[in-house]
Structures are given as C-alpha cells and as structure tokens.
Structure 1
C-alpha cells in the first residue's frame, strides 16, 4: 500500500535527478522495532519501484528530533521558560525514548501551545546538529543513510 502511494513522488524525484530517495516515516506508537519496519518497507519499495531507495523510521515522531537539541529551546527563553525540562528528558541520548514529546515541549513553554508548523521551524533554526545526533539514535541513522562519514560504521553510539 505504501509503495503505491509513494510511487509517483519517488519516480518524480528520480526524474528530477535524484540519485537516492530517502523515505522518512514516523514510528508513532508501533510496537514493531524501527529497524524491522524500515527493512520491510524498504524491501517493498525497492522491489516495486527502484533499488536506490532507503527508509528511515523516526523514533517516535518528528518532535523527538526537536527535543534532541535542547539548545533549540534555551535560545528562545521568551517562548520556552523551562528548557531544563527538555534537557533533563532528552540528554544524554534519550530523546527517542520520550513517549510524548509534544507534551514535554508544552510543559517547557511559558504560555500558549506548541504549534507544529510555526514552532518547529524556529526551533530547528537555533538547534545544534551535533546535539541532535548525540541524543537521537534515529537521527544518527538518518545521517548514516545520507552518507555522513561519522556514522559509516553504524548509528548505535553517538
């Protein structure tokens, strides 16, 4: 089913000159191990579309990557009055284990609610990629798939 839905977008990417397509999927609440699910989906996509496709499962959702860089919150004190909550939950190498990162982000805010589209871009602008990698194994896996030499031998350890 996923292959059918992704086929056009993937084929367009190759037609526009892509040498590799990386499909990024949220794990959400799936109990299947991210590596197992990614391998299954990747095999399905490669066999039905093209062999130059890789799949990375974000563990659990995009916000887990945001909290992996506490700097993204400490540098915005007017919006996130309690960034230490995020650091305590995500560091060291614990961001992927946070079950509800949106709730954690909301608890660090001085007022209002986390807005996925508006806040995420602002957080990322001031985030630190080294922190993201140090605190999220799924982000390290993403970097490895993209060819980052720091993770050429694996993404298990920061």
Structure 2
C-alpha cells in the first residue's frame, strides 16, 4: 500500500492514485494499492476533534462545525485551523502530530473524512468494503 498526500497538487486524487499505481505496475509485479490523502495529513488529524481535546488544543464549536460532519477533507488549510485552537505555541508538524495520532479514533475520523474512509476500504474494513463515499 502506498499512502501519499495531495498537498498542493492540482490533480484529482483518484487520477493521481491511478498514475502512481500504473508507474508501480510498469516496474514490478507486486500488487500495489494507492491511497492519496486529499490535501494534507493534518486534515486527518482534525477529523477527530475529541483527539485534539486531550492534547494541547482548545476545540471550539467553530472548529467542530468546520470539520463535522464529513467536512475535514474540505478544510483548505488544516494547519492554520490547528494553529487557531493551539494553546501556547503554534502546531508543530512532528511533535503535535504524534500526540494527536496517539489519541485518534478511526471510527470518528471516518465520519468526517472521505479520504480516510477510502484508506479503510482498501485495508479491508468491514463497514467500507462496498463504498467509502459516505460515512456509515
């Protein structure tokens, strides 16, 4: 499995994933599945507001309404949103990401992130075997 984030590319995530999969197929017989994280990894971090509450972030109603329900992938600057609720210093891409990731609930993330549901589908999650477009 290849997991990559789209960051600031203008490609459609599906088209980008297909082009990466084709490149792998051209060079190896090993089956490869590709998941392109829409926008950036921080969009997954914000997809579970409760995980942030346990870290050094003050989750506001405005924050929650920006990511839920099913809107985390649509946040254009997740890092900026994290900075807006950070206590003390700004969000740190490594240290804070690890602290948040340790508290993330995959089911909560799936409710708010289509790209995360796609990952779950490719990993064989029972609730998303047939579709990942909508939360279950």
Q: TM-score range by the shorter chain?
A: over 0.9
Alignment match of 2:117 (pick from 133, 140, 143): 140
Residue matched to 1:24: 3
**2:54 paired with 1:75:** yes
Cα deviation 1:72-125 (Å, max 9, x = unaligned): 11223xx21244343121101000011110010000012101111111111112
**2:32 paired with 1:53:** yes
Residue matched to 2:73: 96
Task: Tell me which structure has the larger Cα radius of gyration.
Answer: 1
- 8 Å CA contact 2:51–2:100 kept in 1: the answer is yes
Q: Distance in 2 between matches of 1:143 and 1:47?
A: 26
Query: Size of the alignment, in residue pairs?
Result: 135
The higher relative CO (CA closer than 8 Å, separation ≥ 6) is in: 2
For structure 1, the residue ranges without an aligned partner over 5 or more in a row are 1-21
Residue matched to 2:61: 84
For structure 2, the residue ranges without an aligned partner over 5 or more in a row are none
> Normalization by structure 2: what TM-score?
0.93
Moved beyond 6 Å, runs of 4+: none
Q: Distance in 2 between matches of 1:141 and 1:47?
A: 24
Q: Distance in 2 between matches of 1:157 and 1:148?
A: 14
- 8 Å CA contact 1:70–1:83 kept in 2: the answer is no
> Normalization by structure 1: what TM-score?
0.80
Q: Secondary structure at the match of 2:43?
A: helix
